A and B are shown apart, each in its own frame.
Chain A
Amino acid sequence: MVKQRTVVGAHYGLKDWIAQRATAVYMAAYTIIFALCAFSLRELNYQEWSGLFSHGLFKFLSFLFFLSVFYHAWIGIRDLWMDYIKPNGVRLALHLVTIFVLVGYAGWAAQILWRL
């Protein structure tokens, strides 16, 4: 009987498992900060709204939020393809499409924020 099992491997699963939770905790914290800031705006107009996102720290935190969303979404959607899509070719194609759109979204988010 094997009493001790040596855990081997590249720990890809563990890394993703931790990343999914770390990004979740960050997104939850950002959500609270965003809600407090947004609801404390005097009124919802362009000046107030863009003023909030022009603030350097808020811009930084917001960009980090978007990166967290996209990384978190990658892990979640990848799990979805692994659960339901069995043919390897189709699954690989869907993985690639998912990565491509999410990387594209990250570029888009950066452009939206740093135009301000």
Chain B
Amino acid sequence: MSEVTARKPRPKYLALNEIRLPLPGIVSILHRISGVGIFLMLPFLLYLLDRSLGSPETFETFAAVVDNWFIKLVLFGLLWAYLHHFCAGIRFLLLDLHKGLELEEARKSSKIVLIVSLTLTLIIGVVLW
């Protein structure tokens, strides 16, 4: 590379503990984290569906497994992951359609995503618990 085109070293600032993520950034990273969570738990969820649909006997196994408080807590977390992924996904689809691209709107919609997914998680979670 000639001296004329040689670039200056690009500044990097990747101190993760010091970066303050704006609200849309938080929604975005939670979208990724919730997706990974669901992906990792897919075998467990398929196992639960398998037991619940096998026969009346395996349904009892299913009922006993999901009656455990720890499993309930895990499923509660997954319910949030699904609902957050769902709500944030709708927001991303709207952004793809160039809806809500302005900074203020984008901040507002990410706030709505966080609040709606948490509220729905609480309501559905309490109903199912």
A interface, CB within 8 angstroms of B: 21, 24-25, 28, 31, 45-46, 49-50, 53, 69, 73, 76-77, 80, 101, 105, 108-109, 112-113, 115-116
The answer to whether A21 and B93 touch (CB under 8 A), given A46-B59, A80-B32, A115-B53, is: yes
Chain B residues within 8 Å of A69, by CB: 42
Chain B interface residue count, Cβ-Cβ cutoff 8 angstroms: 21
Instruction: Tell me which of B35, B38, B43, B53 contacts A53 (CB under 8 A).
Output: B53
Are B93 and A49 in touch, CB under 8 angstroms? no
Decide yes or no whether B54 CB sits under 8 A from chain A: yes
- Secondary structure call for the B interface: helix
Decide yes or no whether B89 CB sits under 8 A from chain A: yes
Are A115 and B54 in touch, CB under 8 angstroms? yes
- Secondary structure call for the A interface: helix
B interface, CB within 8 angstroms of A: 32, 35-36, 38-39, 42-43, 46, 49-50, 52-56, 59, 86, 89-90, 93, 96
